[in-house]
Structure formats: C-alpha cells, structure tokens
Amino acid sequence: MFSAGAFAKFMEYFMAIPNYLENFFTSNPNLMFGSNIWVMLLGLGASVLYGVSFGRAKAVISLISLYIAFALERLFPYFDEVQGWVGGSWEGYFIRIGLFLAAYIAIFLILQYSFFSYRLSSRDFPLVSVILISALQLGFLISIIASFMPSDLSQKLLGPAYNLFVSGRALFYWAVVPIPAVLFLRA
C-alpha cells in the first residue's frame, strides 16, 4: 500500500516536528509560554473539540474501545507471525501501533453499531465531563502509543512531557484515572 521510500519520507518529516516546534518557540520571544504549555493547550483544545464534535455517548464508547484494544494488543499471541508476514523492513513498534489502532477502530465500530450505544444517551453526561473524559482518553492514547516506541524515540517526540506519559507508572495512572471520571461525573 505504501512504498518504503514514501514511508521513510513521512517519518523524516514526522521526526522533524519536535525540532521545528522548538525552533519556533525559541525564535519568537513574544510567545511568553514555553513549548510544553503550548502543546498542552493544543491537546486540551483538541480534547474539547473532540468531545464536543464526537458526542457524549461516542466519547464513552471510544474510551471503552481504547481499553479493549489495549488489552487485546497486550494479549495478542501472533505478533511474531504478523511481523514475519509484514516483512523485516518495519520496526516492531510500528506493527504494534498498527495492530492497536486497527483493533481500536474495529472495536469502536462494533460497539458504535451495537446495542451498547443505545444504552448511553447524550443526556447521561454533562459537557464538562465529556471534555474531561476526552482529555483523559487523549492522555491514555498518547501513553499507550508512546509505550510501544523505543524510549529514546518517545523521549524525543514528547520532550519534557515524557515523564507525564511514559516514565514510571504513568501508563497505569492514565489507564486508571478515566474510570472514576466516568463513574463520578454523571449528570
């Protein structure tokens, strides 16, 4: 589907993003905040837009799909076979991320069109809780994907936010915190 050259070029551009952001924020002294604050504000803005546009019931279904996909990826026994089938040119973490995202999308679609989605109505969750759930879901997703990557690559991509998403017990906390948020933030 994608040629190796096109993928290499994409990764070259993708890996240049942290350097570009660093140069942008250090070369503009009028921006009073550090780049980490801007990235967090961008993530919060994306969470708000995601929560508002995606809908309340879909945000919860998406969060549940994220948990199921993460568990399935961790328990998937055929990783070596898939890696052999895909070929040796792909790094193992790319395959893990691809399997995780494919499972996440498939589970989301299944739950979206199942009886489960009818049990959650839009009036069950206030807008503030949807935004909070969306922000926690985004943090959990970043933490999962960064945990698949080699440490040096995730440190380079996340910069100082690495400690917030990957180091120590961060993945555990990002997985646990949305549960009480869903339980306690009902209308």
Place of tokens 């049990």: 119
Distance CA 73, CA 70 (A): 5
- Who's near 68: CB < 8 A, 6+ residues apart? 103, 107
pLDDT per residue of the chain (187 residues) written in tens, 0 to 9: 445 566 666 667 666 666 665 665 555 554 444 555 656 667 667 767 766 666 667 888 888 899 999 999 989 888 888 888 876 666 788 888 888 999 999 999 998 888 666 666 555 567 777 778 888 888 899 899 989 988 888 888 777 778 888 877 888 999 999 888 877 766 5
pLDDT of the residue at 68: 93
- Who's near 154: CB < 8 A, 6+ residues apart? 146, 147, 162, 165, 166
Distance CA 147, CA 170 (A): 10
